[in-house]
Amino acid sequence: MIELKYKSWNDISINTFNKLKEIKINSNDSLELLDSNITLLSILCDVDEDTIASLTTSEFSTLLSQTTFLSTLPKVKIQDTYTINGNKYEVFLTLKDMSVAQYIDFQTFYKDQDKYYKELLACFLIPKGKKYGDGYDIQKVIDDIGNHLSIVDANSILFFFVLLFQSLTKATLTYSIRQMKKARKKMNKEEQEKIDLAIAEMKRAMTLVGNGYGYTL
């Protein structure tokens, strides 16, 4: 009897979640919808699609009814430490204590977070007792994260740091705008126009920050 291998969001790793995201669902076409559901069940049961296609309609419907948990992604509190694939990882909780290399990596991966989701998380999940990028295999960390960290925990960690980054960036932009407005009073008209454009661009950046640069859970 075939059963779901992944019965809740806590069972689903980032790599498995990425497979689910690739499923194209067209509810207006019954055959396409059936194909999508076969793909969905093959992923959640960890079997090939032919195996799912060989099920009776009753077995198929029973399995499909157990996938309703997918409609809501829960949020959980971030922890100080995580055990991933038997390895202890500590969460790096303060942006101000980041090394320069860590911050550069964070900024690089943050710009294309969909592509570098696991690498972004590896900026904050550090093997216990280690410093970022020193004395451990970072590719192994990325593999552990992709294969064994649940998507629920992954999203909670990233959401925490997105909020921190937004707060830090807003504070920096607000300070810069305040200083530019002070300097503007001593400038001629042409210089003031340039400053006004720069301030407008900074305010636009603040709006983007407030929207999380498109980050969604």
Report the side by side order of strands in the sheet with 125-127. Answer: 81-84, 87-91, 125-127
Residue 136 counted as domain residue: yes
Per residue in 176-206, pLDDT (tens digit) is 677 777 777 888 888 777 777 776 765 665 5
pTM value is: 0.63
62 and 88 housed in the same domain: no
210 and 130 housed in the same domain: yes
Rounded to the nearest 5 percent, the helix, strand and coil shares of the chain are 60, 5, 30
Residue 3 counted as domain residue: no
Which residues touch 117 (CB under 8 Å, ≥6 apart)? 14, 18, 154, 158
For residues 62 and 217, give the distance between their C-alpha atoms in angstroms, rounded to a whole number. 29
Per residue in 32-64, pLDDT (tens digit) is 888 889 999 999 999 999 999 999 999 999 999
Residue 76 counted as domain residue: no
- Residue 213's pLDDT is 40
Residue 1 counted as domain residue: no
93 and 171 housed in the same domain: yes
Residue 170 counted as domain residue: yes
Question: Concatenated DSSP letters for 60-98?
Answer: HHHHHHTTGGGG-----PPPSEEEETTEEEEE---GGG-
124 and 168 housed in the same domain: yes
Domain count, the chain: 2
210 and 161 housed in the same domain: yes
- Its domain, for residue 13, covers 9-71
